[in-house]
Amino acid sequence: MDEHTRKFGIRLKQLRDESNLTQRQLALMLGMSPKYVSNLENGHGNPTLTNIVKFAQGLGVTASELLDGVDD
């Protein structure tokens, strides 16, 4: 597992939890599968730029805020 994908997954889960959303709720809201969200949160897979923007909008943050700390 790549360190950046692991950190992205941690950040995605953190923001989802802060929004009081389940993986399923977030996925359905964004037209994605819950399995896709689960895979990303567990550090598997690389989201497209389009999906990074969708996640950010769904979580009420900017893409920069979503990616905060991923490149540390």
Domain limits, the chain: 3-64
- The per-residue pLDDT for 72 is 81
Report how far apart the first and last C-alpha atoms of the chain are (Å, whole number). 16
Q: 68: buried, middle or exposed (CB in 10 Å: 19+, 13-18, 0-12)?
A: middle
Question: Is the whole model's pTM more than 0.85, yes or no?
Answer: yes
Alpha carbon distances (Å) from 58 to 1, 2, 53, 72: 26, 25, 9, 24
The segments of the chain whose pLDDT lies below 50 read none
Topology (CATH level 3) of domain 3-64: 434 Repressor (Amino-terminal Domain) (1.10.260)
The pLDDT score that the predictor gives to residue 65 is 97
